Amino acid sequence: MYDVIIVGGGASGLACALTLVSARGRGWSWAEDRKYLIFDTDKSDLNKAYLRNVPGVQPLLGTELLRIIRAQIEHWGGMEFAQERVIEINREDKTYKVITESGAEYNTIYLVLASGFKEFNIKGLDLEVVENPKSPKPGRVMIKHKDYEVLPNLFVVGTLAGLSSHFTSCAGSGVEVAIEILSRMAGKRVVIHDVPED
């Protein structure tokens, strides 16, 4: 059983993952020993991007930014990466069962969908998939939600949540959802900030 499974390893999925694991090592007993898993098939649009307008970030290739964020996640530890495509998700009482193309099954308490807006063809759940109104290209999709939550403890982020495809928009939604999940785990509002050590 995983505490959180994230489907999609682009800007929003990785930002969510980084925020989740960064709760570790802070003396919060509720945050330790959590099990996290992210599915990433390496198809993020960041692989084709050259980022020159991300606040505070020097121009760099999207592939390099993906590498940097993955390294940040690995530094904190606690996140497993699986390079496999999710084909079905089913809700079972208060958990979700995630089934991959190979037939492997994974269970989780919280689920985050971050698979982008080109299509959504994961079977199992009855989700309302509509056209993404903020996409400059026709045929892009989003999943209807309220404050990123689609079903209890199932969230959607990034362009699949109807956001524009800018890195900062997508990453911000991943952070927001991670903070919500961490707050539910803690039973109180949590925000993670770091300050320089003296």
Cα–Cα distance, 108 to 196 (Å, whole number): 35
Eight-class DSSP state of 33: T
Exposed, middle or buried, 121 (CB in 10 Å: 0-12/13-18/19+)? exposed
| Average pLDDT rounded to a whole number, residues 50-59 | 90
Give the pLDDT score at 73: 97
What single DSSP character describes residue 24? T
pLDDT digits (tens, 9 = 90+) for 124-179: 999 999 999 988 888 899 999 999 999 999 999 999 999 988 899 999 999 999 99
Mean of the pLDDT values across residues 37-59? 90
Question: Alpha-carbon distance 42 to 70, whole Å?
Answer: 12
State what percent of residues in the chain have pLDDT above 70.
100
CB contact at 8 A, 111 and 53: no
Using left for φ > 0, alpha for ψ between -120 and 50, and beta otherwise, residue 38 falls in beta
Domain residue ranges of the chain, discontinuous segments joined by +? 2-186
The reported pLDDT for the residue numbered 137 is 83
Full-model pTM: 0.95
Q: Please name the amino acid found at residue 166.
A: H
Backbone dihedral angles phi then psi of residue 96, each to the nearest 5 degrees: -125, 135
2-186: CATH topology is FAD/NAD(P)-binding domain (3.50.50)
Q: Give mean pLDDT, residues 89-103.
A: 95
pLDDT above 80: residue 198: no
pLDDT attached to residue 72: 96
pLDDT-wise least confident of 79-83, 91-95, 97-101 = 91-95
**Do the beta carbons of residue 52 and residue 59 sit within 8 Å?**
yes
